[in-house]
Amino acid sequence: MPDTPAPPPAEAEIAALRAEIDALDDAMHDLLMQRAAVVARLAGSRAKGQGSPLRPGREAAVLRRLLARHSGPLARERVVRIWREIFMASTAIQGPFSVAAHAPQSAETRLARTHFGPITPIRVHPTPARALAAVSDGEASVAVLPAPAETDQAESAWWARLDVPRLQVVARLPFIAAPSAPEALVVAPVPPDPSGDDRSLLLIEAEADAPRGRIAQALADAGLAAGAVLVLRAGEATLALAEIEGFLRADDARLAALPWARRTILGAYAAPVAGDAP
Ligand SMILES: C=C(O[C@@H]1C=C(C(=O)O)C=C[C@H]1O)C(=O)O
């Protein structure tokens, strides 16, 4: 029998660790196949009804639960990346999915790509109205649009004209908080689903000269905790867009306490989660 020299210790160690990784890959693949089969059962049961299979609130709740139990060398951002792809894979099992984006800063396309994954078709439209029309016409599943900003003019303020409740804001990107980075909103032809820690967008039509301070005070007096309040002077009216803590519903008694009758909930989204400490 020819002598087969023993592999050097370093190579033996690598081979042993890779064998462990191979076994884990098999176990993970088995679980992914099992998960996909459960998703197929969910789709087959038709319990979710017609329309978009996407449930951004449920996705956020799953990610928050996993991040709360997370430990070890795998970065939180990477956990989110891996699960984003799993969510999109299970969405694809339930039906076709595509995105209509309007991306004046191109950041919106990057945010959409990061959130909805590299395989999801994303078409960029020249105006917010065209992106929203693509969703209304059933050409796209969701629209990704620039988040409302204080600098918005009447023309760029797509949120002031959103066809609610047919179209609603269902998510805010990015889900991992990135201070002072551009943000985008996701609009879908379905209502948002609560994630357990949400913020809602409330549009108020006030009188032409309504001061911002009075609007903020009225919200506080009604018991609505508002973050930023954007104000758009639009001819005879002042449009105020407030981000309200919590998942606001149309029958919320606090809304009735506001001094303005024209108020519209544009939708809601999961509060972002913290990323990895720098
Ligand atoms: C499986 C579902 O559909 C989609 C996929 C999800 C998942 O893979 O966990 C979660 C929410 C939905 O976006 C579901 O609604 O639970």
Per-residue pLDDT of the chain in tens (278 residues, 90 and over written 9)? 567 777 788 899 999 999 999 999 999 999 999 999 999 999 888 788 777 889 999 999 999 999 999 999 999 999 999 999 999 999 999 999 999 999 988 899 999 999 999 999 999 999 999 999 999 999 999 999 999 998 888 788 999 999 999 999 999 999 998 888 899 999 999 999 999 999 999 999 998 888 989 999 999 999 999 998 999 988 888 999 999 999 999 999 999 999 998 999 999 999 999 888 76
Report which ligand 1 atom has the smallest distance to the Cα of 38.
1
> Domain for residue 189, yes or no?
yes
Which residues have any ligand 1 atom within 6 Å of their CB?
Answer: 39, 42, 53-55, 58-59, 62, 86-87, 90-91
- Token pair 């549009």 is found at 203
Question: Ligand 1 centroid vs 87 CA: distance in angstroms?
Answer: 6
From CA 51, how far away is CA 38, in angstroms rounded?
19
> Domain for residue 147, yes or no?
yes
The reported pLDDT for the residue numbered 102 is 96
From CA 247, how far away is CA 270, in angstroms rounded?
9
What residue ranges in the chain does DSSP mark as E strands?
Answer: 99-102, 122-125, 142-146, 168-173, 184-188, 198-207, 226-234, 237-245, 263-270
- Asked casually if ipTM beats, i.e. exceeds, 0.95, the reply is yes
> Domain for residue 154, yes or no?
yes
Report which ligand 1 atom has the smallest distance to the Cα of 58.
11
> Domain for residue 92, yes or no?
yes
Residue nearest to atom 7 of ligand 1 (CA): 87
Question: Ligand 1 centroid vs 191 CA: distance in angstroms?
Answer: 15
The reported pLDDT for the residue numbered 80 is 96
Question: Ligand 1 centroid vs 195 CA: distance in angstroms?
Answer: 12
Pocket test for ligand 1, best of 90, 99, 116 (most atoms within 8 A of CB): 90
Question: Ligand 1 centroid vs 62 CA: distance in angstroms?
Answer: 9
> Domain for residue 253, yes or no?
yes
Report which ligand 1 atom has the smallest distance to the Cα of 55.
13
Q: What is the CATH number of the domain that holds 113?
A: 3.30.70.260
> Domain for residue 232, yes or no?
yes
Residue nearest to atom 9 of ligand 1 (CA): 87
Pocket test for ligand 1, best of 79, 84, 91 (most atoms within 8 A of CB): 91
From CA 92, how far away is CA 28, in angstroms rounded?
20
The reported pLDDT for the residue numbered 202 is 98
Residue nearest to atom 1 of ligand 1 (CA): 39
Instruction: State the residue range of the domain holding 185.
Output: 54-270
Q: How many structural domains is the chain composed of? A: 1
From CA 265, how far away is CA 165, in angstroms rounded?
9
Residue nearest to atom 8 of ligand 1 (CA): 87
Per-residue tokens: 194: 């609560």
The reported pLDDT for the residue numbered 129 is 96
> Domain for residue 4, yes or no?
no
> Domain for residue 30, yes or no?
no
